[in-house]
């Protein structure tokens, strides 16, 4: 049994900035999430062809930008010209893709916290982990609370561990198979982040007993949130910034 260390992050985390109320992974979403009282945000980071960490979930540009094809195959000079808001609604048309540096400046200027999900373009798992970790360390240098780096990709977290071992890490799961807990421990993780349906009292006890925190995605129903709070989990990532008060 490993004692739990103090957890510096709030329970409630706004998914991709403001869930579905604004174009995901944009500064507009972060600002909208903040207007609902959220002070911690989750976002997805990948690399441009020339190594600039920027925010986008999908491997391809088609769903959330005016571009086409693999985002990581294009240089930042091209990506920076895309419309990342018009797909969502007319009022957000022209919203650009942000770099990780853009988001870091916004968060640090306002005292907000960040969960950076390392979301590599397939084939760049290790490199993306290394670069995102190095950039995060640079951008949050001197910050009282660093960003939490998470990923589904073990290789990305290995890269982050090798590049900046002092930054906190969390391993994401959509199923719990095999030696899942040992894998998180081997990566020196401070958190396990699961599909919320995977948590029960026994799994929470396993994670807490290993000295790690239990976080959940993506929680959009009150019954699910109440269940997770009753189980004693530590963090809830939600799209419903309009439904859940982060003070709760």
Mutual orientation of helices 125-139 and 100-110 as an angle, nearest 10°? 30
Task: Note the Cα 228 to chain centre separation in Å.
Answer: 19
The yes-or-no answer on residue 226 being catalytic is no
Cα distances from 24 to residues 40, 56, 180, 228, in angstroms, run 15, 8, 29, 25
Q: What does 51-81 look like in DSSP terms, one character per residue?
A: S-EEE-SSSBSTTTSS--SBGGGS-HHHHTT
* Alpha carbon distance 203, 120 (integer Å): 28
* Alpha carbon distance 2, 132 (integer Å): 29
Q: β-pairing, 40-47 with 53-55?
A: antiparallel
Q: Tell me which of 15, 36, 196, 208 is the catalytic residue.
A: 15
The yes-or-no answer on residue 36 being catalytic is no
CB 90: neighbour CB atoms within 10 A?
A: 7
CB 31: neighbour CB atoms within 10 A?
A: 14
Show Cβ contacts of residue 76 under 8 Å, excluding neighbours closer than 6 positions. Answer: 48, 50, 52, 54, 99
Catalytic residue set: 15, 57
């Amino acid at each position: 049994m490993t004692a739990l260390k103090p957890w510096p992050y709030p329970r409630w985390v706004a998914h991709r900035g403001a869930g579905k109320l604004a174009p995901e992974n944009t500064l507009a979403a972060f600002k909208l999430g903040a207007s609902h009282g959220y002070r911690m945000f989750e976002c997805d980071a990948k690399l441009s062809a020339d190594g600039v960490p920027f925010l986008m979930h999908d491997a391809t540009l088609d769903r959330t930008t005016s571009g086409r094809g693999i985002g990581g195959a294009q240089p930042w000079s091209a990506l920076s010209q895309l419309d990342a808001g018009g797909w969502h609604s007319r009022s957000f048309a022209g919203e650009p893709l942000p770099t990780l540096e853009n988001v870091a400046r916004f968060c640090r200027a306002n005292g907000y916290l960040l969960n950076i999900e390392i979301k590599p373009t397939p084939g760049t798992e290790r490199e993306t982990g290394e670069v995102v970790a190095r950039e995060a360390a640079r951008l949050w240098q001197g910050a009282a609370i660093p960003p939490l780096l998470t990923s589904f990709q073990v290789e990305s977290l290995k890269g982050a561990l090798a590049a900046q071992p002092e930054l906190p890490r969390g391993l994401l799961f959509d199923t719990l198979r095999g030696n899942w807990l040992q894998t998180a421990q081997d990566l020196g993780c401070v958190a396990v982040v699961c599909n919320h349906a995977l948590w029960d009292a026994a799994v929470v006890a396993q994670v807490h007993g290993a000295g790690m925190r239990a976080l959940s995605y993506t929680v959009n129903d009150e019954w699910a949130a109440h269940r997770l709070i009753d189980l004693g989990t530590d963090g809830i990532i939600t799209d419903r910034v309009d439904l859940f008060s982060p003070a709760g």
